[in-house]
Structure 1
Amino acid sequence: MVKSLPPRSEVKVEETWNLQDLFKSEDDYNQAIEQLQQNVASYVEQFKGKISDVDSIIAALKGYASIYKKMVPIGAYTSLSSSEDQTNDEAQMRASKYGSIASKLGSQLSFVSSELSELPAELLEKAMGQSKDFELYLKEVLREKPYQLHPEVEKTLAAMSSVLNAPYGLYNTTKLVDIRFDDFEVDGEKFPLSYTSFEGGWESEADTSKRRAAYDAFYAKLRQYQHTAAKTYDMHLQKEKTISDLRGYDTVFDYLLFNQEVDRSMYDRQIDLIMKELSPHMRKYAKLLQKVHGLDKMTFSDLKIPLDPNYEPKITIEESKKYIKDSLSIMGDDYLTMVERSYDERWTDFAQNIGKSTGAFCSSPYGVHPYILISWTGSMEDVFVLAHELGHAGHFYNAHKHQNIFNSRPSLYFIEAPSTMNEMLMANHLLSNSDDPKFKRWVISSIVARTYYHNFVTHLLEAAYQRKVYERIDAGGSVNANVLNELKRGVLEEFWGDDVEITEGAELTWMRQPHYYMGLYPYTYSAGLTISTQVSKRILAEGKPAVEDWLKVLQAGGTKSPAELAQMAGVDITTEQPLLDTISYIGDLIDQLIELTEEIETVQTN
């Protein structure tokens, strides 16, 4: 039975994260902002208009790194305290206030990149040779040089950043504050509904009548807000297109892929191959679900049902610790110490409450420790999600220890590889511990339904839809709810064909994801999982040497391109082979599920 969510004030403290590791009190937070403003003013006075030679370049960047380190925990505290409860007026006003302050500070500091960009390339290269700490930063300055605008324009854009980023805040406010779901009814009984309960419960409910009724009620409510949501998204898209044009990029795709250090061919290949090659495997999986559950027809609302809901164990937060530690023990003592600390020091916000951000994420402020948000429901899926987020945490835990603040963050293209790696390690560990057909089927179905469905289907279909949206924007168009619905439905129908009925409401799935406000992010999930699938196979086959290579990749942070990082782990992502191998591996898993199901059914009938 899904319960109504409590307010934040009523959840157990031990199930919340400890933001006091960022700031002990509100006074400390406010003093940090005041000190930061003074530091920026002094820095501007010391360096503005005076960056002219190698010595001043290095001195300016040292000072800039120091300021950046002070900004990070302030931004993290502001964001995290807001995401734990969007209905908290104090947290929302704090976020709004700091957004304005950060925009002003960004405007004051914009001279750094402008002045560096105006210096001769030879001088920047000389500075790179004399300071390894800032080599990567200056390399980026050189890369961005052709797209840098006049200093006053850069200053203005930085000053407008809180306004330019407003659509994302508006999206979250609409989604998490304004939308209130009514109870839905099945056979005279009423059941509570919310974003969290739908995504964490009703969407995978084994009872078909309840699941489909929850689906209908959920999407009926979303439909009431579709025009506001579409207008908000269109504002964001038009902003990206305008900045892309201003900076002189050929397309908005080039603009959004620039910082990922990935060309258009790698982006397109990820989407095109999966849409074509994975679709037959996933249709086969959908047919298996329909058969096992005895469904009259397979609809979009049925795709998240567990293959064997009766075998799904309920797992407490405390019990999850053993699953996680046993699965990740292959990563070594230092990694396990990080996992232990995450539990002992309350890095994770497990609580379910009204106004909390949906889904899960990991924030890794430099100089502190990672923070993880998840809404714990007690399913095995939660354990996989937590392992996933601890993959992000372990990545930055390692990168921050070995790299400075400018060098620690890799390309967005690579960001989901360490997280999905942990899901693969968990699955491998579980499979190695039993020969029981029902247990094996449960583990493999967890991998398919959680790891691969989520990253290779849900997020990939977002990416295919997103590409169509940006193609429209690039051609000078705009979008509204009807356009977005049509594009989303078209992608879903193309992937699932006649095997899954795309029921009314499915086209509104675009309203559920914040990823569309984060550039070309959705396709990177499948890119990361392609890398981690191949590396996890290496770890299974080779053990410690493959793990050591992977730890070096994590420690490298952002000092290498995605292709170079993958190459360090033994994967060549410049070709299509790793992706084809991964799709083939998913197909093999689904075939195993079909065989195990036949074996189980044979035993049950004899």
Structure 2
Amino acid sequence: MERAKRKRLPKREELEEKYTWDLTRIFPSIEAWEDAFKEVKASLPEVEKFKGRLGESAGNLLAALRFQDEISNKMGKVYTYAHLKHDEDTGNSTFQDLYDRAVSLDIELMSAFSFLIPEILAIPGERLEEFLQAEEELRLYRHYLDDLSRRRTHTLSPNEEYILAQVKELANSPSNIFSMLNNADLTFPMIHDEEGEEVELTKGRYIQFLQSKDRRVREEAFKTLYETYGKFKNTWAAAIQGEVKKNIFFARVRKFPSALEASLHRDHVPKEVYENLIETVHRNLDQMYRYVALRKKFLGVEELHMYDLYVPMVKEVEMRYSFDEAVDTVLKGLAPLGEEYLHLLQEGIKSRWIDVYENQGKRAGAYSSGTYGTPPYILLNYQDDLESLFTLSHELGHSMHSYYSRKYQPYIYARYSIFVAEVASTLNEALMNHYLLQRTKNKRERMYLINHHLEDFRTTVFRQTMFAEFEKWIHEQVERGEALNQEKLSRYYYDLNRKYFGDDIVVDREIAYEWTRIPHFYYNFYVYKYATGFSAATTLSQMILQEGKPAVDRYIQFLKMGGSDYPLNELKEAGVDMTSPEPIQKALDLFKNLLDQLEQLLEE
């Protein structure tokens, strides 16, 4: 069913089957899910037989690791089915129940296995090496065991680890408070649309209003949103301070010098990678200032304001794609990745990996999900526009990464690190940008597409780096014994905006409260990965376009590696060294090149 033909939001059962995902490939029915749930539940007591015995022999250790893989694999399917069914209709009480039970069972499983890592780390390194030499099949787990050994000095006794596992649910309180206030309790006043009619401002509609051609609508939406958030500034400050203290608590308990280094340790990423990102972006802020000045010129305003940053610079360009047209366009745009990649994409789409359209109760947004032994499912809320086309290519990038990882890696290494998670998705977008720019002969379309790509840079490299700098600062403040009150947070955040956007924009006072609405500040140093991932993907896409097959082969090999090596090593295999500022600088060089092209088109 094409989106344009709809008169109202359909119920789930009214959607055409071919535009919905096929979850029967996980479980044919809810009854089958119930059987799997009971099987996992019944397996939990069996975990006890391994407790206290891992260091006795290589055979015991191998058996415990295999059992963990087996039961975790089953749990992955139970959880994935429940969360996908829940998201296709969040109002369905049956699916809510499945999801809640799956979450609870997953926590039980993690608690049951909480002894495993401390016991492995209690085995002396020399004895562990003897186990690996004595038991050939244990060698599959060498990277896993080596990675655990890195954590040896940061892991506590089994009893202490059990306590920390129990504390984790309590430690989520700051994030839960933020989420409930932000998603459930916060409401916004009515504003006036382009026709002067009263309409409700919501978080979902906010960016749409900021993209309005009517500047009054943009300003009203911007000021109304931040004035509403500002009313709760002390509550937001308390929540974010609680989150920061939680991160610092776990870092100190585990003997890390800082919360930042504790977060980076999991991916074996040195602090220099984080600092390189911020420093390299700082060195290129003049290009952001150039972009801001160009935006001001394009829009023809005497003063550029923060609420003018999202409206398209190039007006009267409408690029529409039905879902089927988008699929065809994406297949053409991703042709540089080779025949095998395209064939797998076509087969995946045909076999219903994707849940395409919005329906009543469906979760908002888009994502790629799945687990070992299932298809890499995609949730969309497709809207027939250019943004939806890019979202489709983005999520297909995630899904193809998951497909290759799960096909070519054993269970223990099938999940890739979050550090590399945005590379495959963003690379697809970069190739799509290149394809669309190459094929268009229309000057205004070309300008529109360049503007779209520049906006990707602004929001993913510059903005996420600004977020990363803010996150680093708030943790350093608390680590020094300073309090985080709303006034201090807002003042620093306002000054950061002035630094990143320059003098050609009026940094409206309301932007000082933007930190109050960013959920990623509750993700423990997550945001920098968007910027590093985008930079790595941009560099790799340029290699693929310039070198062809050799670069494609390296890239596909990277997709197949899953979590079998550390993320920085995997990226080096693909041809990118993220310990160096070079990939970030190369990406920002492309940003400069795109600016040059847009300025030239403006002068023609």
> What is the TM-score with the length of structure 1 in the denominator?
0.90
* Aligned positions of 1:305-316 closer than 5 A: 305-316=311-322
Q: Which residue of 2 aligns with 1:323?
A: 329
* Aligned positions of 1:414-563 closer than 5 A: 414-449=420-455, 451-563=456-568
Structure 1 residue 270 corresponds to structure 2 residue 241: no
* Aligned positions of 1:41-190 closer than 5 A: 41-46=45-50, 48-83=52-87, 94-129=98-133, 130=136, 131-186=138-193, 188-190=196-198
- Pick closer, same or farther for the CA change 1:147–1:469 going to 2, 3 Å: same
Alpha-carbon deviation of 1:478?
4.5
- Pick closer, same or farther for the CA change 1:217–1:13 going to 2, 3 Å: farther
**Per-residue displacement from partner, 1:310-368 (whole Å, max 9, x unpaired)?**
11312222221112111112223332244334533443344446876555432242221
Alpha-carbon deviation of 1:223?
3.2
**Per-residue displacement from partner, 1:27-62 (whole Å, max 9, x unpaired)?**
433332221121121132255535422121112111
Q: Which residue of 2 aligns with 1:195?
A: 203
* Whole-angstrom CA distance in 2 between matches of 1:486 and 1:8: 46
Alpha-carbon deviation of 1:157?
1.9
Question: Which region of structure 1 is more displaced relative to structure 2, 76-85 or 587-596?
Answer: 76-85
Alpha-carbon deviation of 1:560?
2.4
**Per-residue displacement from partner, 1:174-207 (whole Å, max 9, x unpaired)?**
33333344431146322343222223x2222222
- Pick closer, same or farther for the CA change 1:164–1:446 going to 2, 3 Å: same
Q: State the secondary structure of the residue aligned to 2:478.
A: helix
Question: Which region of structure 1 is more displaced relative to structure 2, 376-385 or 224-233?
Answer: 224-233
2:250 counterpart letter in structure 1: I
Instruction: Give RMSD over aligned pairs.
Output: 2.8
Q: Which residue of 2 aligns with 1:603?
A: none
Q: Is the 8 A contact 2:51 2:115 kept in 1?
A: no
Q: Is the 8 A contact 2:461 2:535 kept in 1?
A: no
2:413 counterpart letter in structure 1: N
* Whole-angstrom CA distance in 2 between matches of 1:326 and 1:408: 29
1:322 counterpart letter in structure 2: D
- 1:399 pairs with 396, 405, 409, which one? 405
* Whole-angstrom CA distance in 2 between matches of 1:336 and 1:509: 41
Q: Is the 8 A contact 2:143 2:565 kept in 1?
A: no
Question: Which region of structure 1 is more displaced relative to structure 2, 108-117 or 342-351?
Answer: 342-351
- Pick closer, same or farther for the CA change 1:46–1:57 going to 2, 3 Å: closer
> What is the TM-score with the length of structure 2 in the denominator?
0.90
Query: How many pairs were matched up?
Result: 595
Q: Which residue of 2 aligns with 1:251?
A: 258
Question: Which region of structure 1 is more displaced relative to structure 2, 418-427 or 344-353?
Answer: 344-353
* Whole-angstrom CA distance in 1 between matches of 2:192 and 2:7: 15
Alpha-carbon deviation of 1:376?
3.0
Q: Is the 8 A contact 1:86 1:176 kept in 2?
A: no
Structure 1 residue 580 corresponds to structure 2 residue 585: yes
Question: Which region of structure 1 is more displaced relative to structure 2, 189-198 or 423-432?
Answer: 189-198
Q: Is the 8 A contact 1:370 1:396 kept in 2?
A: yes
Alpha-carbon deviation of 1:401?
0.7
Q: State the secondary structure of the residue aligned to 1:184.
A: strand
* Whole-angstrom CA distance in 1 between matches of 2:22 and 2:431: 28
What is the aligned-residue identity percentage? 26
Structure 1 residue 34 corresponds to structure 2 residue 38: yes
Q: Is the 8 A contact 1:329 1:336 kept in 2?
A: yes
- Pick closer, same or farther for the CA change 1:105–1:464 going to 2, 3 Å: same
Q: State the secondary structure of the residue aligned to 1:254.
A: helix
Q: Is the 8 A contact 2:54 2:120 kept in 1?
A: no
Question: Which region of structure 1 is more displaced relative to structure 2, 469-478 or 348-357?
Answer: 348-357
Q: Is the 8 A contact 2:50 2:60 kept in 1?
A: no
Runs of 5+ unmatched residues, structure 1? 600-606
Q: Is the 8 A contact 2:233 2:486 kept in 1?
A: yes
Q: Is the 8 A contact 1:54 1:123 kept in 2?
A: no
